[in-house]
Amino acid sequence: MALQPGDKFGRYELVSWLGRGGMAETWRARWMGDAGVTKSVLIKKVLPEFVEDDAFISMFINEARISATLSHGNIAQVFDFGRVEGQYYLAMELVDGQPLHHVLKRAVKTGLQRMPIPLAVYIALEMCRGLHYAHTRTDDKGKPLGIVHRDISPDNVLISYEGQVKIVDFGIAKAEMARNFKTEPGVVKGKYHFFSPEQARGKEVDARTDVWATGLVLYELLCGQRPVTGTQAAVMMRMAHGEFPSPREVRPDLPVELDELVMKALSVNIEARFESANAFADALAQFLYSHAPRFSTMNLAYLVRVLFRGDMAVEGRELSVPTSFIDELTVWRASGAPPEVPAKKELAKEASSRAETEMELDLKPGAQRPTRKLLLATGAVGDAHPTVEALESHRPATNTSTRGGMMGWGAMAAFAAVLVIVVGTFYAYVIAPPRAGGPPPLPLSKLGPRASDAPDSPTPLLVRPEEDPPGATKDDVRHARRLLERGDYQSASAMAEKCLTLVTNHPDCLFIAGASMARMKKFDVAVQRYQSLATNHPGHPLAGVTRTLIEEYERKHAEQVASAPRTTSESAPLDAHDVAIVDEWVTKSRALIKKQKYREAAAMAEQCLKVFPSVSDCHLLMGIAKARLDKVDEGARHYRRFLELAPSDHPARGEVATLLKHYEDSKRGGRY
């Protein structure tokens, strides 16, 4: 019988299924100790169909034997190894983050074509530290264990939300202790894109093999691509003979010193490479802190948090990102390189692509959903109780106060929602269409059409991106960009504004003006410039980036408002920024309810109510979440408060009133 969340697996409780590979699957689990002591771990378990595969089991045991000896900050630690009902498993450190290859893909989707130089160098540096530790491990008698990973790639590197770099998967590692897992002569193991020349030829490997692979990872981070593509045979042949371009040939703005470091790590002659991972790390550290002395390791954490903010929101989490990092990310996305590193060279031209969201929540209007029956969220209503048909589309009059229901951004002015439940098993959250004659679009909401919504024919730009504004040469625009990158925001802003007086809404000048204003903390003006770019030039390569930036500035404002003491009365109308904050909380809470993550949904609704206690929709969502958690009395209390606050034409009023009546009748009958 297949395992399910909540099942016991040896001394562990399975929490959630994470994924499945070719021969093993992973679970988020909880170690259960005495006196209620617990610890979150990752369980890597051999699939049942491979328990008799001697070769794979040997490899799995090899991973356990090697990993159990390693304890380093840059290596995911193994805590336990064993068998449950004949199935081998590893209990490992649960790294709260993302695999590096996922980070790279998400970065490209959000306009960051290549990893910023300091971050790329830092990741490779940390990888080297962990590898050197593994390479130099000895047994109890001081004899070197001779560990070589042999499978270094972005797939086997994890980046945590705190900026930690962790190496995983020593499944095919070579070590003297693995006497039963010796690679036969002529047999190669690993991912062929990252094979060293000696691996490709099936020769003996050592620590410098991992140096080569780390150099390849750094190459991909810096250039946004691998040195060679093609068939396995073609890739292995060209890499083994050094027939590939240097990073600087692919990315001309790279400093010469960094290019030389990467190419030394990728020397075909193993004797010409860095003699150890530690030597490579030292060289990278010297480069990093000489070219970016103000580099903070938290920048890596902030990048991953920004890229995967939506994923964390679904889990009911939100980690802070300072506005200063968002400003930095602006320049990185626009130029493809950070401002600190290429002090000696001109930055590369813009290489940003349209921002995309990998996960879009299903928030279709109620009219597009099948009509279902409404029952009390607890599922405690018997068959004798009447059911109520789902709400019809509702268009109440305009109301901008907190008693007017939940108002969203611009055209998405007011959502009215009810929970649709079929006794304790499934539900749908029905959302009414926007209110007719609603409030005018809020300043930061209408960002113009996205590229995906545009007609097949390209949207004409007032000025094509490659054109120069009259009276301003291409060199002037480049100079303004360089001023921005050097940190002379006042001069960059002045030059960009002069450009805009000559050609209204020139896209490059709008972006430079916005970025400069943001760096000078003039966020209102910055948002206006970004919004003009997104609205007037929806097809411009930087339009997606500006949308992302506006969202980040709005989010930061929301955090500041949420943490600030409230001095206004509960009945005071919401301003534009408050509406944005509440809308975000409601959207997240609704998404969590759809994912059946009721505790997280309740926590999100609670955040809303702490700051805006009179927003009716936050009480509605809290009532739904509490009812599904079997906290019926609390749910009823929030349903009552919803009825007190919601306007008479709110589409959920009738249904909530009916639910409460059933609840009161059941309570009087002794059912609660």
Domain count of the fold of the chain: 3
The Cα 608–Cα 582 span in angstroms is: 6
67 lies in the same domain as 123: no
CATH code for position 284: 1.10.510.10
Structure token pair of residue 338: 């950070």
Q: What is the pLDDT of residue 466?
A: 42
Terminus-to-terminus CA distance in the chain, angstroms? 36
Q: Within a domain: residue 359?
A: no
Which of these ranges, 194-203, 209-218, 341-350, has the smallest mean pLDDT?
341-350
pLDDT band at 444; cut points 50, 70, 90: very low
Tokens of 49: 């169909």
For residue 192, give every residue at least 6 positions away whose Cβ sits within 8 Å of its Cβ, in sequence order, or none: 200, 232, 235, 236
Q: For the chain, what's the residue count?
A: 672
- pLDDT tens digits along 334-360: 655 443 443 333 333 332 222 222 222
**Residue holding tokens 């700051």?**
611
Encoding tokens for residue 39? 């610890």
Domain that holds residue 248: 96-328
For residues 223 and 146, state if they share a domain: yes
Amino acid at residue number 225: Q
598-655 pLDDT, tens per residue? Answer: 888 888 888 788 878 888 888 998 989 888 888 888 888 999 998 988 888 787 888 8
pLDDT (tens digit, 9 = 90+) per residue, 430-441? Answer: 222 233 333 333
Last residue of a domain, one of 74, 94, 114: 94
Residue 194 sits in the same domain as residue 304: yes
Which pLDDT belongs to residue 13?
93
- Is residue 6 a contact partner of residue 14, using CB atoms and an 8 Å limit? yes
Instruction: State the catalytic residues.
Output: 151
Question: Is 322 a domain residue?
Answer: yes
| Cα 290–Cα 292–Cα 294 angle in degrees, nearest 5 | 115
Q: Which one of 61, 94, 127 terminates a domain?
A: 94
pTM as predicted: 0.54
Confidence grade of residue 540 (pLDDT, cut at 50, 70, 90) = confident
For residue 454, is pLDDT > 50?
Answer: no
Q: How confident is the model at residue 230 (pLDDT cuts 50, 70, 90)?
A: confident
536 falls within a domain:
no
Task: Determine the average pLDDT of the residues in 120-134.
Answer: 97
Do residues 36 and 120 share a domain? no
Inside any domain, residue 47: yes
CB 201 within 8 A of CB 126: no
390, pLDDT greater than 80: no
- What pLDDT sits at residue 423? 21
Q: Are residues 90 and 138 in the same domain?
A: no
CATH number for position 36: 3.30.200.20
Q: Count CB neighbours of 309 within 10 A.
A: 17
Q: Any idea which residue has 């910055």 for tokens?
A: 526
> Rounded to whole angstroms, how far apart are CA atoms 635 and 618?
12
At 408 the pLDDT is 30
Report if residue 2 sits inside a domain: yes
